[in-house]
Structure 1
Amino acid sequence: MGRPLRFRVVDSEDGSLLPQLLARRVPELSLTDAKELVRGGAVYLGHLRVRLPTMRVASGERVTVHLEGLEARPLSSELVRFVHRDPDFVVLDKPPGVPVAQTRQTARGTLAEALRRTLVDEGVVRPYVGVVHRLDQGASGLVMFTVRSVANKSVHRQFAEHRIERRYRVRVVGEPPAVLRCEAPLCELPHGRVRVAQSGEPRARPAVTELRRVEPVLGEVEGRAAALLDASLETGRTHQIRVHCQSEGFAVLGDRKYGERPPASEPDDRGEGGSEPSRLFLHAYRLGFAHPTTGERVDLRAPLPDWARAREDE
């Protein structure tokens, strides 16, 4: 991922339209491309994401441009796969490789945007889509969105109080024991990384992951042993399963951030070339919670991909 381009608006540019400024300052950008970058949410004035091509700039403002935002494309409506629909919320089955919500680089190509567009196509005027929780971009499975703002508070409280039941299937490298409980506290770092916290570290947050092997260990990737685990969370920290598995010596297959680093000749996260996994082998297959308005129990399941199925599932 390239580094963003940053510059300040000079006095002679005061009052310019933002796309015109970008086209002048960045030689490789046409005016059309500059407008697309703005509409796609890849341009910031100060810390504010700007998506209006009619925005004018002022002298001294800092402009940040993420040029890779040009590569983002809207998701096909076919990728909005409903598992459950309700007047207050929806639950979707997220495909691997799709971000749940906008990233720093772009607001396009996300599941939230695709859901909003689907609701518009169904006749909903200015639909509300609230992102309740996130699932790693490379992972797949159940993700909940609220579609009425009144439901947001109740659902977020359940997540904050760890009253949402979440179950995952994950394939890891190595031969873990039949049952493994990891209680290592986690610490979030800049740029989206997470690590196991040191003893007494003030930023440490408690995290508990229960892992259970669901079938005998198999040889899967270039002769390496690989195990299929069922994971449940008592807390919901960023990258919790990935970091806990890695800290116990069993990195998640396909994890480029916390797992094994492939040689430069091997594929990147998009799986271009080579024989390494091209996705993160992590799938959220079960979600249980109290309905935000009725309080009734809701228990939802997503289909398991082939790699996540054990004999007991058949």
Structure 2
Amino acid sequence: MKDLAINMGGNSQKPSKNGDVQTASQNFAQVQLITITEEDAGQRIDNFLLRICKGVPKSHVYRILRSGEVRVNKGRIDQLYRLKEGDVVRVPPTRIAEKDTTHVPGAEFAIVFEDSHLLIIDKPAGVAVHGGSGVSFGVIEQLRASRPDAKFLELVHRLDRETSGILLLAKKRSALVNLHEQMRDGETDKRYLTLVAGDWKNQRQHIKLPLHKYTTADGERRVRVQADGMESHTVFTLKKKYTDFALLEAELKTGRTHQIRVHLSSSGFAIAGDDKYGDFALNRALLKATDSRGALKRMFLHAHQITFTHPESGKQMTLNAPLPKECEKFLQSLS
């Protein structure tokens, strides 16, 4: 962000060397007009505001987005709008939160790969990637707390809280923009391992069902198959059949919220342990071991492989994260 002016008073503010405006998070008493540079282009407006509005409650950031107080090029936008170079963002006066006394514990996670541009970890199940929706903090907040000297650290993509596996983080803005472009252009290959209940027939099966994202009355984010939903495509490959289950590899051709979970449940195959779209009676039964199988106390969905082009070297990379021990143990009990 190299061009920032205060609408009231006309003062200019200089950016720091890493591109962050030095006083943007400290003076929100007045309207701000921020011109987006090439470095900041490509990110969603909500993520951009959350980054620059440090100290402003997350709920308030989304409130000013929904109310239309945030404008881009003098027009209203929604929280999914992706910024373009030259866009002028109007940020209204916002209140800074009282100092948060919640301690974010620093944490490190199993590292799959790391260099000066990327940090790729193996996220455990049950850990949110970021704070919000009743969660005080997630992976990104914990990593920032454990790496206080890191000038830049941002999520490249997200995983559901219940999903384990490969998670990409960018250590440079240029890497973040490059990887987002690869994902938008379909140049990344993300694959998951999942266990479903039922008699899966085909060795390889394409599921193309349009998905619509909505929010329930109590604020929960959900997805359903709907004719006017977003085009969604998953390819499933059978890895192994068991008596009552099938181990599948899911290859994402599009990256919609809860895509694998909804594509499978809508096709009659519930993911073992899925508490949103799964078979709830089965999930309860899986919590306790029997003579024929072990117990499963999580959703069996694991991001086990990703292929992409390194944003700096241009080299193609394929990285893997093995199935967690609890998933391996459950499969062994089925055998």
Question: Aligned-pair distance for 1:106?
Answer: 3.8
Question: Aligned-pair distance for 1:243?
Answer: 0.4
Match of 1:239 in 2: 258
Amino acid at match of 1:256: D
**Aligned pairs (5 A) from 1:143-292:** 143-177=167-201, 178-190=203-215, 191-198=220-227, 201=228, 204-218=229-243, 225-262=244-281, 277-292=296-311
Match of 1:111 in 2: 139
**Aligned pairs (5 A) from 1:32-51:** 44=60, 47=63
Question: Aligned-pair distance for 1:130?
Answer: 1.1
Match of 1:14 in 2: none
Question: Aligned-pair distance for 1:216?
Answer: 2.2
Question: Aligned-pair distance for 1:118?
Answer: 2.3
Instruction: Tell me the secondary structure at the aligned position of residue 215 of structure 1.
Output: strand
Question: Aligned-pair distance for 1:282?
Answer: 0.2
Relative to structure 1, is the Cα distance of residues 308 and 45 closer, same or farther in structure 2, using a 3 angstrom cutoff? same
Contact 2:106 2:146 in 1 (8 A): no
Which 5+ residue runs of structure 2 have no aligned equivalent? 1-54, 65-93, 290-294
Is 1:53 matched up with 2:98?
Answer: yes
Question: Aligned-pair distance for 1:40?
Answer: 12
Distance 1:46 1:230 in 2: 36
Question: Aligned-pair distance for 1:263?
Answer: 9.8
Distance 2:212 2:152 in 1: 32
Amino acid at match of 1:142: I
Question: Aligned-pair distance for 1:291?
Answer: 0.9
Match of 1:221 in 2: none
Match of 1:92 in 2: 121
Relative to structure 1, is the Cα distance of residues 52 and 134 closer, same or farther in structure 2, using a 3 angstrom cutoff? same
**Aligned pairs (5 A) from 1:117-156:** 117-120=145-148, 124=149, 127-156=151-180
Instruction: Tell me the secondary structure at the aligned position of residue 240 of structure 2.
Output: coil
Query: What's the CA shift string for 1:269-305, capped at 9, x where partnerless?
Result: xx9x766742110000101101112221111111222
Distance 1:214 1:54 in 2: 51
Question: Aligned-pair distance for 1:215?
Answer: 1.3
Is 1:293 matched up with 2:312?
Answer: yes
Instruction: Tell me the secondary structure at the aligned position of residue 162 of structure 2.
Output: coil
Question: Aligned-pair distance for 1:179?
Answer: 2.3
Amino acid at match of 2:275: R
Q: TM-score under structure 2 normalisation?
A: 0.63
Distance 2:167 2:223 in 1: 21
**Higher RCO, 1 vs 2 (CA within 8 Å, ≥6 residues apart):** 1
Question: Aligned-pair distance for 1:169?
Answer: 0.5
Contact 1:207 1:234 in 2 (8 A): yes
Relative to structure 1, is the Cα distance of residues 281 and 288 closer, same or farther in structure 2, using a 3 angstrom cutoff? same
Contact 1:40 1:106 in 2 (8 A): no
- Tell me the number of residue pairs that the alignment of Structure 1 and Structure 2 aligns: 238
Question: Aligned-pair distance for 1:238?
Answer: 0.7
Instruction: Tell me the secondary structure at the aligned position of residue 101 of structure 1.
Output: coil
Relative to structure 1, is the Cα distance of residues 274 and 206 closer, same or farther in structure 2, using a 3 angstrom cutoff? same
Query: What's the CA shift string for 1:224-248, capped at 9, x where partnerless?
Result: x111111111111111100001011
Which 5+ residue runs of structure 1 have no aligned equivalent? 1-38, 56-69, 219-224
Contact 1:283 1:308 in 2 (8 A): no
Amino acid at match of 1:284: A
Instruction: Tell me the secondary structure at the aligned position of residue 199 of structure 2.
Output: coil
Distance 1:154 1:112 in 2: 19
Relative to structure 1, is the Cα distance of residues 205 and 82 closer, same or farther in structure 2, using a 3 angstrom cutoff? same
